Structure 1
Amino acid sequence: MTDKEIEEFLLNIKSGKTSVEEAADRLKDLTFKELGYAKIDNNREARVGYPEVIYCAGKTVDQVKGIVEFMLTKNNNILGTRVTEEMYEAVNSICPDAVYNRLAKTITISKKEVNKPDTYIAVVTAGTSDIPVAEEASVTAELLGNKVERVFDVGVAGIHRLFNRLDVIKGARVVIVIAGMEGALASVVGGLVDKPVIAVPTSVGYGANFGGLSALLCMLNSCASGISVVNIDNGFGAGYLASMINRL
């Protein structure tokens, strides 16, 4: 609960709008809600600024549906990542407002407006094959209340394409660079902008790419300053971190 919500909660008890029994029930779920298969962190937004996000991979359809069903009672914006079509259909049956992004494999449910800063995040990919990870990053950042500019398919194999969109990239407050293969684009962008760069290696590439390991190591060893690196295919982590920087 935020300070404002706590104040309103106490006033409702004093005025009699909320009974002692209702107050006791609500306090039971103050920190987390026990569902048996999941403990939903009800206090995360008050601690860190954003509500809990549902990582759906490895969960059953019924588990995802149950988690979303409870989270809807809190009236927060909801984000689910690594979502299957079957999971989306189950969520859509209880919340027709749920939006499924098939590229990003995300579900978003917008319940309240979030004030957006004037600045924006640039999401840049080396190739078209990197777009699913880029969309996960973009959807995450947008739901958290950020404007996002997408710059796709500007990798080092055709470097002139990057320079054609450099004004958009330089205008961002923070840049997410997503690349597979050898992951060189993050270093190139890092050497051209005066903004923080969040590099995301992807599992795109041929055999010696080792499922994204070559891009990860290249990005970790970048000689360009101001680059941080998240895990392979972790568009969500990049979008979340970029949002924190953009909203400082």
Structure 2
Amino acid sequence: MDTKKTLALLQEVKDGTLTPEEAVLKLRMSPYEDLGYAKVDLHRELRQGVPEVIYGSGKTPEQIIGIASVMRENGSENILITRLSPEAAKKVEKEIPLDYDEVSRIGIAGRRAEVTSSGTIVVAAAGTSDLPVAEEAARTAEALGNRVTRLYDVGVAGLHRLLSNLDIILEARVIVAVAGMEGALASVIGGLADCPVIAVPTSVGYGANFGGLSALLSMLNSCASGVSVVNIDNGFGAGFLASRINHMGDKK
């Protein structure tokens, strides 16, 4: 049950058209809907301000359609579907309105383009090969109501490319640093910025990169203060966390 429906329910209690006991029963019945293959959390937006996010990998298009349809029927907008393959997206968009991006593999059902925070999130990617993860972070943050500035191909192998955008880095409220190889970009940005830096290691690199493990360990051992690290290739997690931090600035 979304915020609008909850407020309407409380108004019915206030008006006397619904007893408190009946309202409690409705609230107890509404936390989730059991589809058999999924229990859709309908209270997520009420609790956290953001609807449940659908992880598309491993789900059939029919399952994704079923989950998203239930969420839309209960008032959810900006429903994020991550790791959605192009083939699955073609089937899903036949049943529900879908804004799909092949680079990030993110689909947004019932998109509501609205900026709800005054701060800016900067998403910086070391190389072009890191763009799928960087775009996953950027599009996640945008879907959650954030203004996003992209700085792409600014890896430390050509440090001047990053330093020429120092003004953008210093104006950010939170920065997402995406890098594979040795993952040095996060430490460099962490030494320049006065805001939180979320480091995202990617699986981009040669053999000794170990599928992103070397970048992960480098970022975890960063000598720069204020750098936190999410899992390998987890652009979604970084974008979501960046959104939380960005909106906290407005709450204060």
TM-score by length of 2: 0.90
SS in 1 for 2:71: helix
Structure 1 residue 115, shift from structure 2 partner: 4.6
Runs of 4+ in 1 over 6 A off after TM superposition: 13-18, 22-25
Match of 1:83 in 2: 84
Match of 1:74 in 2: 74
Asked if structure 2 preserves the Cα contact closer than 8 Å seen for 1:154 and 1:162, the reply is: yes
- Specify the code of the residue in structure 1 equivalent to 2:52: E
**CA shift in 2, pair 1:28/1:34, >3 Å:** farther
SS in 2 for 1:159: helix
**CA shift in 2, pair 1:68/1:218, >3 Å:** same
Structure 1 residue 109, shift from structure 2 partner: 2.3
- Structure 2 residue runs of 5 or longer lacking an equivalent are none
SS in 1 for 2:138: helix
1:58-69 pair list within 5 angstroms: 58-69=58-69
Match of 1:142 in 2: 142
SS in 2 for 1:68: helix
SS in 1 for 2:132: helix
Q: Give, in whole Å, the separation in 1 of the partners of 2:4 and 2:128.
A: 45
Match of 1:93 in 2: 94
Structure 1 residue 113, shift from structure 2 partner: 5.7
After superposition, give the CA deviation of every residue in 1:92-130 in whole Å (9 maximum; x if it has no partner).
Answer: 11123x111100001012454645222110000000000
**CA shift in 2, pair 1:206/1:3, >3 Å:** closer
SS in 2 for 1:99: strand
**CA shift in 2, pair 1:15/1:53, >3 Å:** same
Q: Between Structure 1 and Structure 2, how many residues are aligned?
A: 245
1:1-248 pair list within 5 angstroms: 1=1, 5-12=5-12, 27=27, 29-76=29-76, 77-96=78-97, 98-112=98-112, 114-248=114-248
**CA shift in 2, pair 1:86/1:3, >3 Å:** closer
Asked if structure 2 preserves the Cα contact closer than 8 Å seen for 1:75 and 1:112, the reply is: no
- Specify the code of the residue in structure 1 equivalent to 2:30: L
Q: Percent identity?
A: 56
- Structure 1 residue runs of 5 or longer lacking an equivalent are none
- Specify the code of the residue in structure 2 equivalent to 1:169: I
Asked if structure 2 preserves the Cα contact closer than 8 Å seen for 1:137 and 1:236, the reply is: yes
Structure 1 residue 46, shift from structure 2 partner: 1.5
